[in-house]
Amino acid sequence: MVAVLGIQPFLVIAANIALGIAIIPLTYLLGRQLKLSIEVSSLAAFIVALDPTSIRASVVLRADAMADFWLVLAFVGLLYVRQAETVRAAVFFGFIASSFIMMSALTRPAAYLLWIPMGFWLLFTHMRWRVPAVAAMAAVGFAVVNLWSHHNGVYFNNPTFSSAGTFQLLYVRAASVLHQATDEDIDDVYAELAMRVEERLGNDVQDITSNWRHRHLASTSKQAAAMTDIAVEIFLRYPVQYILTIPVGLYRALFPVNSWPLWSAIVFNLAFLLTSAYGLAQMARARRISDAFYLVLPCVYFLAGTLLVATASFDTRARVMVTPLLAIMAAHGVMRLLNRRRAASASPSPPAGS
């Protein structure tokens, strides 16, 4: 964004907010593409507009707003793939949907393998041209992942799509486990882990402090291998703490919002998640299985990916990328509850004395 607009704070902030706001009408479009009513689609868009995490993602200058914008376009594109009536349309929209996924991944790497579960979802739909569509998606995803990994291998000596996952695996996930197991101060844990990495590489470990870990963020392939090995060793040594930190990660990913009153964030997100779960169950009950999997697969992908490498140092930002999908589930659930209540109110009461 800065490369396009230059170092002009007002324009950059305005563009970031505009991207965040654009997700609201796109959520409405998602609902309509799922053949939900105007009321349900409008309510889903309204929920996104109210969501504290989405608001924060729009006003804080991070990659979130742009990455989420590309991602919701990908979700729209996937529905166009499913609705394609010709092989040409299926391939075209498969290419577009996967391109949007990879644009999101190049902005923030979390989505870089999302084309795989969504490709499997398409394979199990009843669309006629699913195989060519999935082939187009896979071609784009495979090409971008490999090209970007090659780029990182040439310039950073680490042929991987992103080194952030390895860094978080050691200095967030494993550090949390080690901290819980040993009760060491977290800065001492960071210093110990950094020292282990440097020892594994045969380097001098004098004067290493907790801040040394930041040198491992853009890691080489040897550093990444050492960091992964050390993290796995910690997980195997402290399996109980590894398991016990998972609920902590779930809580952080689903309830608190940074710079937001804790109680209000918990109340909003609890209601949000309960109605989302109810709406998803109602879709499954109505035998809209394809729609249910379309909505839930990205949620599982991002939540599982987060818990794999981190259970601390984040908030509901970990689920902001699927907020439109959760909002559609929640809106569907709320409208089903309201319709049930209206039907009960409209039914005639039995005569007195009967």
Per-residue pLDDT reduced to its tens digit, 32-61: 999 999 999 999 999 999 999 998 888 887
Structural domain contains residue 236: no
Q: Looking at residue 173, what DSSP letter applies?
A: I
Extract the tokens encoding 148: 């970007």
Task: Using alpha carbons, select from 216, 231, 238, 223 the residue that is nearest to residue 308.
Answer: 231
Output Rg (C-alpha) for the chain, integer angstroms.
23
CA dist 239 and 242 (Å) reads 5
Structural domain contains residue 281: yes
pTM of the entire predicted model: 0.91
Q: Is 7 exposed, middle or buried (0-12, 13-18, 19+ CB in 10 A)?
A: exposed
For range 225-251, the mean pLDDT: 95
Residue 354 is predicted with a pLDDT of 40
Structural domain contains residue 184: no
Structural domain contains residue 67: yes
Per the CB < 8 A criterion, the answer to whether 205 and 168 are in contact is no
Identify the band that residue 299 occupies on the pLDDT scale cut at 50, 70 and 90. Answer: very high
Per-residue pLDDT reduced to its tens digit, 169-192: 999 999 999 999 999 999 999 999
**70 is in which domain, residue-wise?**
7-163+241-334
Structural domain contains residue 228: no
Residue 281 is predicted with a pLDDT of 97
Identify the band that residue 313 occupies on the pLDDT scale cut at 50, 70 and 90. Answer: low
DSSP tally for the chain: helices H, then strands E = 16, 0
Structural domain contains residue 349: no
pLDDT at 353 over 70: no
Structural domain contains residue 193: no
Which range has the worst mean pLDDT, 57-61, 123-127, 198-202, 335-339? 57-61
Extract the tokens encoding 330: 């929640």
CA dist 50 and 225 (Å) reads 43
Asked whether the CA dihedral 100, 105, 111, 115 is positive or negative, the reply is positive
Identify the band that residue 264 occupies on the pLDDT scale cut at 50, 70 and 90. Answer: very high
Domain count, the chain: 1
Structural domain contains residue 323: yes
